[in-house]
Amino acid sequence: MSESKKPGLLLIGAGQILTSMIVSGFLLGYLLDLYFETQPIFILILGGLGFIGGFLKVYRLLTDPELQ
């Protein structure tokens, strides 16, 4: 496998990684809230974590692709 090509191809989706991480954070938070009936605690926490995680992931992808 040529290691150099994989991260390059992952960069195609860098824009969507950020948004989809935020959306999936809210989604998981919503489901957890439904399950534990704790609205709106988890949706806020996981949404925030998704936001941070999305930024982190895109930052890492753009600065050091080999990390991913």
Partner 1 sequence: MTWNLDTIFISIALGALMVVVGGRVARNATDGVPGGFQNFVESILEFVQTQVKDSFPGHNPLIAPLALTIFVWVWLMNFMDLIPVDLLPLIGSWLGLPYLKVVPTTDLNTTLAMALVVFGLTLFYNIKVKGLGGYLKMFLFHPFGKFAMPANIVMTAIEEVAKPLSLGLRLFGNMFAGELVFLLIALLGGAAALGAGLLIWFPLQVVLDLAWLLFHILVITLQAFIFMVLTIVYLGMAHTTDH
Positions 34 through 53 that interact with partner 1 (CB under 8 A): 45-46, 49-50, 53
How many other CB atoms sit within 10 Å of the CB of residue 59? 12
4 to 1, 10, 65: CA distances (angstroms): 9, 11, 9
- The yes or no reply on residue 20 touching partner 1 (CB under 8 A) is yes
Query: Can you give the binding site for partner 1, defined by CB under 8 A?
Result: 1-2, 5-6, 9-10, 12-13, 16-17, 19-21, 23-25, 27-28, 45-46, 49-50, 53-54, 56-57
